[in-house]
Amino acid sequence: MDNFNLPDFNIDFGNFDPQEITSDETINAVFIIDISPSVDSYIDDLNNSFKEFLEEMQRSHVAEKLMVSIIEFNDKINVRTGFQPIDSVNLRKMNFVPCGSGTALYDAVLYGLTNAVEYRTNLENSGVNCKTLIFTITDGEDNSSKNSSSVVKNSLDAILKNEKNIFNFETILFGVGDDSNFETAQQEMGIKHLAKIGNTGKEIRKMIGFISASISQSSSANSPVVF
């Protein structure tokens, strides 16, 4: 199995059993969401928009092949859900609450990446073709991680060196607000895309709309993942 030099966190993410998937292709979407105290200014808009997005996806034609994993972080990492079919995500429980005392951005991305690659490998070995999209939403720079940004970058570079991942593995960092360090974080971690957005309700909805469109566009069998 390819491990792409990813660390073993020895965490059971509780991913859905690959043998039970009744499709031969999936879209694996990972949401890595900052819940440090500073996100308080937009958390209600994020919660509302994210729930609407999940509802929309549960009703859409994409639902049968969409698997989602949701990870939240402040100075610690909490896996809200490993990869599960979108249908089984409990909307009522999907609420983000600002708390903690720091921002372990690099660790959180590394966690998300590690699980995404491991699950993808398991799926591919059992005959499921995958497209992976990793969405990271944060409003500030890292100040709590145990791992450095270069560990993330090395891992991502290794993943993208594999030919079959080139068009099927995408990463994007959404920088919310006016922190000037988003570009540095994006580049140092090797995340492919950066989108800076305001922290107004309109901007948050726009971001979620973008995520929704990206997932829908990725659902076509032969289309590469694009942002």
Partner 1 sequence: MIYFSSVSRRGTSHPDWNEDNFFIKEMAHVIVGGVFDGCSSGKDSFFASKLFANIFKKTVKEFDAIIETTTFPTLIHQFFKNLNKAIKSIGLTTDETLSTAVLFIYDLNNNELLVKFFGDGCAYANNEDLLFFNNDEENKPDYLGYQLNDLLKSSNAFSNYYNNKQSFSVTTKDFSIASDGLFTFKKIIESEPNFDYTNYLLNDDFIYKNPASLKRKLNIIKNKGYEHYDDVTIIRVIKE
> What three-state secondary structure class fits 185?
helix
Q: Which stretch binds partner 1 (CB under 8 A): 16-24, 76-84, 89-97, 147-155?
A: 16-24
Rg of the chain's alpha carbons, rounded to an integer? 16
The helix (H) or strand (E) run that includes residue 32 is: strand 25-34
Taking CB under 8 A as the rule, does residue 129 contact partner 1? yes
Give the nearest distance from C-beta 22 to partner 1 in angstroms.
5
Q: Which stretch binds partner 1 (CB under 8 A): 21-29, 32-40, 103-111, 147-155?
A: 21-29
Q: Which of 114, 201, 103, 206 is nearest to 151 (CA)?
A: 114
Tell me whether residue 18 or residue 98 sits nearer to partner 1 (CB atom).
18
Tell me whether residue 23 or residue 143 sits nearer to partner 1 (CB atom).
23
Q: Quote the tokens at residue 60.
A: 């859409």
Tell me whether residue 65 or residue 174 sits nearer to partner 1 (CB atom).
65
Taking CB under 8 A as the rule, does residue 178 contact partner 1? no
The helix (H) or strand (E) run that includes residue 134 is: strand 129-138
Q: Which stretch binds partner 1 (CB under 8 A): 4-12, 19-27, 96-104, 109-117?
A: 19-27
Residues 43-102 touching partner 1, rule: CB under 8 A, are none
Identify the residue among 6, 13, 16, 21 touching partner 1 (CB under 8 A): 21
Tell me whether residue 71 or residue 128 sits nearer to partner 1 (CB atom).
128
- Contacts of residue 17, Cβ cutoff 8 Å, sequence gap at least 6: none
How many other CB atoms are there within 10 angstroms of residue 161's CB atom?
10
Longest dimension (CA), the chain: 45
Taking CB under 8 A as the rule, does residue 128 contact partner 1? yes
Long-range contacts of 90-93 (CB under 8 A, 24+ apart): 91/51, 91/54, 91/55, 91/58
Give the nearest distance from C-beta 15 to partner 1 in angstroms.
17
Tell me whether residue 24 or residue 44 sits nearer to partner 1 (CB atom).
24
Interacting residue ranges for partner 1, rule: CB under 8 A: 19-24, 124-129
